[in-house]
């Protein structure tokens, strides 16, 4: 096999034994299977991928810089737009980082609702992953089934927050508002129908031999490599590493929920697929448990200088009104310091590094995005594979370009 190495300028240098058939192929940025605007610079020998270089930045928005010009509370809306398939997870990571700096205690009910919504969002996110990764490999039907399930969840999220893709439901210190009346019954209704949907997926894809032959033994990454490249989330657990931040560094009361962390050892597309499918069941279990725990109670922390007062209070009491004015107009000061807070988002470890200089706006907010780091390991998996398998591998990484190009 001919091999090529990069020289300093990024041009390929074909080493000895070069074949005439070697060529460079740009896959994307407008390609139906690249999940957004990702360009892959592929060096091919026939159909064999010798080198794969992800080229990102087509969606760059400068969001991280934008945080520096927004008050802490306003930053929440920016997080929605990063990993737009998992906006509630992003909200959670961001508000928890700020809460860590402020030292806020979040009441029980708010915690439970956060877990409930995040797990629903995880199911929705996995639905998109499942639908699109099948679509990439030519299986069109599952897509419609998964988007039906996702639609149900988006309706629930819309019912709670008012937004479908951009909920901004969490606030520093609690939630935007309480769940609407009857919400738990609607979630139960969704959950009752969900196993049926899982069965459908099994019939269509999981037990399908065509699917097995497309995924088994494709895009292998070893345990050591997966750790070295910093993979997180289902992509890491597909390689046999049992790391889930919900278990390793529990937050929002995850330590009290009963769920398993699925781990597969083969490190191929099929393993990552199985991990995610299993996670759907686990999320389903967590949502069920969270529903049981929904007890009436406050949804905002007791911090009148940070958290907006209750609206009725604000209308009736002068001091609440004054606090309301001050918080909205000037924001709140966050004590000087820096924190890193990571949560298990649907795609892996979503970390927020936040630095405060004591003012109402953060000095720096940085996101450790799981898609970005998982994508960097793509060459390891794709090199030596056939070009048709590259789309399978991209699909199995579950990347979202909005979060890669922050």
Partner 1 sequence: MSVVADVIESTVAILKGMKRTLSEIPRHNWTVQYPDEPVTVQPRYRGQHLLHVDEAGKEKCVACYLCAAACPSDCIYIEAEDDARPYAERVGRDERYAKVYNIDYGRCIFCGFCVEACPKDAITHGYNFELSVYNRADLLKTKDDLLITKQVQSKNYRVALSSEDVDSEFKKIRTKGGEKTDR
303 binds partner 1 (CB under 8 A): no
Q: Site for partner 1 (CB under 8 A): which residue of 30, 61, 185, 222?
A: 185
Would you state the structure tokens that stand for residue 117, as one six-digit string?
């919504």
- Using alpha carbons, list the distances in angstroms from residue 303 to 53, 105, 108, 354: 49, 9, 15, 21
97 binds partner 1 (CB under 8 A): no
Least distance from C-beta 173 to partner 1, angstroms? Answer: 13
Would you state the structure tokens that stand for residue 188, as one six-digit string?
């139960």
Least distance from C-beta 113 to partner 1, angstroms? Answer: 14
**Which residue in 366, 400, 370 sits closest to 68, CA to CA?**
366
Q: Which residue has the tokens 């009290």?
A: 256
Q: Output the CA torsion sign for 374, 377, 381, 387.
A: positive
∠ at Cα 384 (380, 386), nearest 5°?
Answer: 115
Least distance from C-beta 274 to partner 1, angstroms? Answer: 17
Q: Site for partner 1 (CB under 8 A): which residue of 105, 325, 340, 358?
A: 325
- Using alpha carbons, list the distances in angstroms from residue 155 to 144, 181, 183, 187, 399: 16, 15, 11, 10, 24
Least distance from C-beta 103 to partner 1, angstroms? Answer: 24
β-bridge partners, 5: 13
- Using alpha carbons, list the distances in angstroms from residue 232 to 102, 118, 343, 368, 394: 28, 18, 11, 11, 15
9 binds partner 1 (CB under 8 A): no
Phi, psi of 174 (to 5 degrees): 155, -130
Q: Taking contact as CB under 8 A, which single stretch among the options 2-10, 84-92, 99-107, 179-187 is the one that binds partner 1? A: 179-187
Taking the least distance from each CB to partner 1, the nearer of 76 and 102 is 76
Q: Taking contact as CB under 8 A, which single stretch among the options 28-36, 209-217, 264-272, 338-346 is the one that binds partner 1? A: 209-217
Considering CB under 8 A, how many residues would be counted as binding partner 1? 45
Would you state the structure tokens that stand for residue 115, as one six-digit string?
């877990």
148 binds partner 1 (CB under 8 A): yes
Q: Site for partner 1 (CB under 8 A): which residue of 33, 86, 161, 235?
A: 161
Q: Where are the beta strands (DSSP E) in 8-82?
A: 12-14, 22-27, 39-45, 48-55
Query: Residue 294: is it exposed, middle or buried by C-beta count within 10 angstroms (0-12/13-18/19+)?
Result: middle
317 binds partner 1 (CB under 8 A): no
115 binds partner 1 (CB under 8 A): no
Least distance from C-beta 13 to partner 1, angstroms? Answer: 41
Would you state the structure tokens that stand for residue 226, as one six-digit string?
């997966």
Q: Taking contact as CB under 8 A, which single stretch among the options 27-35, 158-166, 223-231, 381-389 is the one that binds partner 1? A: 158-166
Taking the least distance from each CB to partner 1, the nearer of 2 and 177 is 177
- Using alpha carbons, list the distances in angstroms from residue 289 to 112, 115, 294, 404: 9, 10, 9, 33
197 binds partner 1 (CB under 8 A): no
Least distance from C-beta 101 to partner 1, angstroms? Answer: 20
Least distance from C-beta 329 to partner 1, angstroms? Answer: 5
Q: Which residue has the tokens 């806020």?
A: 104
Q: Which residues are at the interface with partner 1 (CB under 8 A)?
A: 70, 73-75, 77-78, 141, 148, 151-152, 155, 158-163, 166, 168, 176-178, 180-182, 185-186, 200, 203-204, 207-211, 213, 308, 311, 314-315, 321, 324-325, 328-329
């Amino acid at each position: 096999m001919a091999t090529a190495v990069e020289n300093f300028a990024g041009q390929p240098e074909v080493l000895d034994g070069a074949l005439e058939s070697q060529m460079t192929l740009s896959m994307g940025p407008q390609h139906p299977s690249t999940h957004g605007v990702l360009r892959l610079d592929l060096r091919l020998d026939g159909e064999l991928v010798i080198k794969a270089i992800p080229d990102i930045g087509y969606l760059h928005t400068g969001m991280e810089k934008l945080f520096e010009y927004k008050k802490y509370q306003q930053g929440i809306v920016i997080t929605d737009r990063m990993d737009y398939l998992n906006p509630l997870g992003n909200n959670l990571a961001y508000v928890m980082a700020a809460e860590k700096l402020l030292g806020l205690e979040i009441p029980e009910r708010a915690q439970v609702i956060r877990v409930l919504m995040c797990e629903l969002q995880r199911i929705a996110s996995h639905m998109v992953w499942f639908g699109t990764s099948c679509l990439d490999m030519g299986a069109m039907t599952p897509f419609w089934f998964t988007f039906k399930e996702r639609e149900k969840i988006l309706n629930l999220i819309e019912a709670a927050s008012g937004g479908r893709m951009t909920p901004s439901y969490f606030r520093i210190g609690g939630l935007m508002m309480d769940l609407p009346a009857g919400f738990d019954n609607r979630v139960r209704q969704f959950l009752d129908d969900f196993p049926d949907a899982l069965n459908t997926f099994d019939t269509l894809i999981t037990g399908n031999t065509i699917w097995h032959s497309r995924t088994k033994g494709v895009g292998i990454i070893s345990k050591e490599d997966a750790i070295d490249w910093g993979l997180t989330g289902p992509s890491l657990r597909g390689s046999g590493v049992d790391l889930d931040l919900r278990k390793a560094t529990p937050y929002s009361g995850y330590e009290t929920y009963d769920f398993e962390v699925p781990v597969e050892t083969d490190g191929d597309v099929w393993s990552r697929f199985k991990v995610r499918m299993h996670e759907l069941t686990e999320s389903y279990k967590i949502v069920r448990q969270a529903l049981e725990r929904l007890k009436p109670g406050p949804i905002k922390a007791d911090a009148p200088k940070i958290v907006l007062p209750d609206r009725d209070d604000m209308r009736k009491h002068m001091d609440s009104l004054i606090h309301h004015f001050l918080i909205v107009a000037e924001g709140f000061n966050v004590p000087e310091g820096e924190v890193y807070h990571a949560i298990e988002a649907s795609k892996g470890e979503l970390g927020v590094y936040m630095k405060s200089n004591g003012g109402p706006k953060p000095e720096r907010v940085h996101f450790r995005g799981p898609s970005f780091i998982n994508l960097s390991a793509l060459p390891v998996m794709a090199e030596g594979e056939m070009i048709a398998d590259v789309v399978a591998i991209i699909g199995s990484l579950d990347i979202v370009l909005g979060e890669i190009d922050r």
